[in-house]
Amino acid sequence: MTENNNSGVHRAPERNRQPRIKPPAPLEQELHGCFRFFWDNFSRGERTYGLMPDRVPDIKHKCSVASNGFMLAAMAVGADFHWVDFNSAKTVCDRTLSTLLGLQQSHGFLYHFYSGDTGERYKQSELSTIDTALLFCGALTAGSYFGGSTLKLARRLVQRADWNYFYDPQRKQFRMAYYDGEGLHAWWDYYAEQLVIYVLAAAGNGWQFARDAYENLGRLQGKAANGQPFVHTWFGSLFAHQFSHAFVDFRGKTDSLGMDWFANSVTASLNDIVFCEQRPKLFPQGVWGLTSCAVPGGYRGNMGCPPSGNNDTEHFCDGTVAPCAALGSIVFTPQQSLKALEQFDKYPKLQGKYGLYDSFNPSQGCNTTCYIGIDKGITLLMGANYCHNTVWKYFNSLSEIRHAMSVLGFTQRQTTTASAEQIKLK
């Protein structure tokens, strides 16, 4: 795969070399399919170059800035795995970042969706902190990997964000979004996928209040199906335990309150596994992975398992499985995630041009036939971290990210976090 007539396979310069784990063939095939999803589907239009569709193939005209974050990081992964020429991938990132810098924005934050045809804001989509944050993380990953002009453009995009605009000093929490006619909307009051928001704010002009916002984060305490205590999310969806971890390497780190978020995500993943194991009528042996995903007729955000909010009433489970949920936990539960992939591969209708489709329901014998950018993205980035530490290595090597983790009060333990294989399943 090349762009601008650059051909051949790039061999990373010495600074990019690192010990590698050769992925099993099924995993490499799926990860390569995820990369090809991003490579084939970003816009090549003059005004929209690099914009990434939220969902393929049915709504390609609606582009998501969160998907763009995963797409930019995917270019670094593709070069690191030698699936694409280094210079070609760097050119894609530079042109994409230039497009993103020219999009309509406010206070340095971008809208959730843009038109893939015109590059204009898509309908009345909201100004989104989390989607912008995921974009920033992908931009910084690409910038760190490719260096030079890519890093300059990425930092220019990230540094113009005014975190003070979304910070509520009375509640000491960040607001989630801005909607026309409503103004600033909701608060990041409980733990979800937003840990990267505190990191980015601490790395930018929000360093004075980022730690207050982080330490004022509500932590819903519950017990996993194997009896292990952990902090759960409102809908019990696995993506919330994965997205920030795709970029920030929390292994062996604890905050000032003694919290180990990596270990917490291990427990959340094991909880999903045991929940599914205990319901063999819905989930065949080895099949697990409950998270927000595509469903017939649209998208459902509260797919998950208990514990969840409002006394375990906020999650929904009808047997729908999202492969990205199990594969997005591969750094937490490597053996169980690889076994799940073996089971997914037994469903031929679940396989398409870019690997596994977004979701399927084995008990009902049906599956979707679409791909969602953030779902292919979490699969690719976590797989790359599992095999090469690719995203972790480059994102966390940036001086501003190291400084941010210190500002937030994270410290590194001498021993690493226990893996899933060291935690007994009951």
pLDDT in tens, 244-265: 999 999 999 999 999 999 999 9
**What is the pairing mode between strands 109-110 and 105-106?**
antiparallel
Mean pLDDT per 10-residue interval, the chain, length 426 residues? 38 48 93 98 97 93 97 98 98 98 98 97 97 98 98 98 98 98 97 98 97 97 95 98 98 96 98 97 98 93 97 97 98 98 97 98 96 98 97 98 98 68 41
Count how many domains the chain has.
1
Return the pLDDT at 424. 40
Altogether, the residues listed in the chain come to a count of 426
CATH code at position 317: 1.50.10.140
Bond before 348 cis per omega within 30 degrees: no
Q: What is the residue whose two structure tokens read 């994409």?
A: 96
Report the C-alpha gap between 252 and 412 in whole angstroms: 6
Classify residue 15: in a domain, yes or no. no
Q: How far apart are CA 239 and CA 307, in angstroms?
A: 15
The answer to whether position 42 is within a domain reads yes
Q: Has residue 424 been placed in a domain?
A: no
Burial 286-298 (b: 16+ CB within 10 A, else e): bbbbbbbbbbeee
Residue 78's pLDDT is: 98
Answer whether residue 11 is part of any domain: no
What's the predicted TM-score (pTM) here? 0.94
Write down the pLDDT at residue 12.
Answer: 40
Cβ-proximal residues to 5 (8 Å cutoff; 6+ apart), any chain: none
Give the Cα separation of 155 and 421 in Å (integer). Answer: 38
Burial state string for 171-206 with b = 16 or more CB within 10 A and e = fewer than 16: ebbbbbbbeeeeeeeebbebbbbbbbbbbbbbbbbb
Structural domain includes residue 419: no
pLDDT digits (tens, 9 = 90+) for 291-312: 999 998 889 999 999 999 999 9
Side-chain-side CA neighbours of residue 149 (13 Å): 11
Give the domain range for residue 281: 22-412
State both tokens at 206. 């929000």
Residues 6+ apart with CB under 8 A from 253: 260, 261, 262, 405, 410, 411, 412, 413
pLDDT at 420: 53
Burial class (CB in 10 A: 0-12, 13-18, 19+), 7: exposed
Q: Is residue 3 part of a domain?
A: no
Cross-strand partners of 113: 64
